[in-house]
Amino acid sequence: MTPPHSIGFPRMMKEPGERRVYLPEFIQHLAQHGLNVYVEDGYGSRSGFTFDDYRQGNELVRMCSHEEAYQQDLVIVLRSPTPEEFALMPAGAGLLSMLHYPTRPQRVDLLRRRGIQAISMDSIVADNNLRLVENMKAVAWNGLEAAFDVLQRRWPDLRRPDGEPIRVLILGTGMVGKHAVEAATKLGDVARNRQHMETHGAGGLAIAVGRNVTDNARTMRRLFEQADILVDAVQRRDPSQPVVPNAWIAWLPEHAVITDLAVDPYTLDADPPVVRGVEGIPQGSLDRYIFLPDDPDWDATVPASIPSQQRRAVVSCYSWPGIHPEACMRHYAQQLMPLLEPLLHKGYDRLSPTGGYFERAIYRATLRAWLRSEHYEARPR
């Protein structure tokens, strides 16, 4: 792909609760580069935006159909397109999206076969391997906010019967886990925590553990038995194996809430298969992210071959930042603006691992870099 002359912004229409769209200021920023920006009819309408909000009198910003948005030189969409939407894109077209190469091998193969010049936002990393397009803080805070909401139904003032602090066990000590520690000690919401302190509540106690503990069943049982909230914030090296086997869930108290911040999918037809970090729990969405143990839809959301007999309340959402969509998309746009500069000026094919700081970062997220990586080469064929 030579430097793109047009960019398409299709709507994400996977469920009614999805309201994340790039904001008008981001569209105008791209148009200032002299690019033709095609915005799908109705883009942003769920958030109260009109096409005039996006165009702002700039003739380079144009309204288009869903199909036309996918036929531009570069497509920018937060969530990955569906296979049917990939089919709308001509070979050699560019795609910037959250593609999750490590846990979506079938998607990687489809992108490769179709000749799409993909860049995965979640794989854009700095020289020190830290992600540059992320909203880990929102993942942790929004997920813990939902978990404490569920626990508050049982304990309206968030006070344990024994007067002790609420105990939150966090699996994983990466970026999400670190933010989860802070969110847990603030009861998932700063305002709620302030009110809790004013009424002399006992607060929240966070315990975070890494791989050297999660593999020890005896230690994990002791920790599980004391946990009011269990948080999965693990970035697994092997997504074909759960961190928490379903049988371990029986160790949690009946009132415990499982908080799924990793949100890996069940992809059982991949080789090797991808399973969830906590075995036997459902994956939620923006439309529905709270599941109680007696939920009649539980069996419909978990594959029959996956053990799910042991259950507790679960909060899970494929994208926790989307709970507060406008703040989420402003955050992503601020991160993307400098990263887009080398792509817009050089094009996909000329991105280099020895270029400038932002060029190196975005190169690492290209499909061609992933296909050459040791992670892809080690995958069973």
Report yes or no: 3 and 345 within 8 Å, Cβ to Cβ.
yes
Distance from C-alpha of 298 to C-alpha of 256, rounded to nearest angstrom? 17
CATH number of the structural domain spanning residue 114: 3.40.50.720
Same structural domain, 287 and 166: yes
Distance from C-alpha of 371 to C-alpha of 304, rounded to nearest angstrom? 33
DSSP 132: S
pTM over 0.85: no
Same structural domain, 117 and 152: no
Question: Which residues lie across from 129 on neighbouring strands?
Answer: none
Same structural domain, 298 and 313: yes
- Boundary (domain end) residue, out of 288, 318, 348: 318
Other beta carbons less than 10 A from residue 91's beta carbon: 9
pLDDT for res 377: 59
pLDDT for res 307: 95
**Number of domains making up the chain:** 2
Largest CA distance in the chain: 65
Same structural domain, 294 and 255: yes
Q: Which residue has the tokens 């105990």?
A: 167
Strand pairing category for 290-291 and 313-316: antiparallel
- Boundary (domain end) residue, out of 295, 318, 341: 318
For the stretch 181-225, pLDDT in tens is 999 999 999 999 999 999 999 999 999 999 899 999 999 999 999
Same structural domain, 227 and 361: no
Q: Tell me phi and psi for residue 27, to 5 degrees.
A: -60, -45
Same structural domain, 114 and 151: no
Question: Which residues lie across from 117 on neighbouring strands?
Answer: 94
pLDDT for res 376: 66
* Residue 77 maps to a domain: yes
Q: How many CA atoms lie within 13 A of 213 on its CB side?
A: 16
51 membership: H or E segment, kind and range: helix 51-55
Report yes or no: 36 and 74 within 8 Å, Cβ to Cβ.
no
| Four-point Cα dihedral 16, 17, 20, 24, nearest 10 | 60
Q: Which residue has the tokens 């997504």?
A: 239
- Boundary (domain end) residue, out of 273, 295, 318: 318
pLDDT for res 45: 94
> Which stretches of the chain drop beneath a pLDDT of 70?
1, 376-381
Same structural domain, 148 and 212: yes
